[in-house]
Structure 1
């Protein structure tokens, strides 16, 4: 997976490095491109849980740095070469500061992680809003998963990264596993699953060639902050 794809991920346009996966995710790209800011705001307002609270910029940065340290430690243990970066760019005329860690695994084995991105973005010259996002991709052996009726996302390296972000252990992946296998078995070209995890937005996109997992906070409006403690151990 190329670094160019990571930049696409960072703007929440989903794609994949494998040619087959790229073709089958084209509908999702179009859908992501047409999602409006107002729709995102409405979804954010409906979130409930720890991560749905209104944190200040300083509190959000603290939360991000804590999770970043854990995610970097996991990545070091994997032996994969990774990069940390902080850059400012313009998006639709708005300044976006992106602080992140990411890697590409150029030759992943079947059902092994292909790429990872974890980052915090702040928007505007005054840093008025911001969010934190984890994005993972897996080289998926969907044919065998369907044939053997057997796949568990919780047994992949995704599990460690998701736990590092959420702080929750023993997440139940059974419903996600079931939906992926059943929908692909029924002939769906692409599976999309949306859920929430303690105030985080969870999205799973799957084809027979790849699985993309996205976990993100709402877009925090720092002026609305009303939380005194964001330690969230």
Structure 2
């Protein structure tokens, strides 16, 4: 058997997330269906993580196994020929058998896009931003600073996934302008993320930027390890998985 690594981009708007679900349209299901059309055999696709319904990706990583004689085909072009327009394979390659899209990963990068014009949101951007209104960037950056480093992020994890530990290390939180004058992009880099962790952190930072949560209160939320202390989860459409890092 050969192992094929894929880098996948998708618009998550019309998907019920990455993971297979009965009678639901999922990215994993679409990719597996495309593989079967080529090999005429079922293949289980393993992703680096499970993006939620409405969340996008520019660099999701996945792998699957196939018979050796399929190694030489151009998988990127072949799969894209069977993909809907909201999913594309960016890269494909044969990898060693010990590579695993999820368990071999050493870090991930997510970006979350905020829209700041409270009067309107461009129709072309509504699927990819959270219209949060005006916020104070300096306060948000001060709040973000306390989340850097290694912490127990239990207060920033929604239910649904069993993990061995809720400790993660955030190496960077940065901000830059978006593609329009009304947007900012917040970039999060860490050795791993808990379920909806970035969305909960983003909701906390926005609450700080609106003056509804102080930096000191955010510190207490972090130390509490209690999800009920943090604000509601930010909406999914502003979030995108940008890349996954491997050794």
After TM superposition, is the score higher than 0.5? no
When normalised by structure 2's length, the TM-score is 0.24
Q: Kindly indicate which of the two structures has a greater share of residues assigned to helix.
A: 1
Rg larger for: 2
When normalised by structure 1's length, the TM-score is 0.25
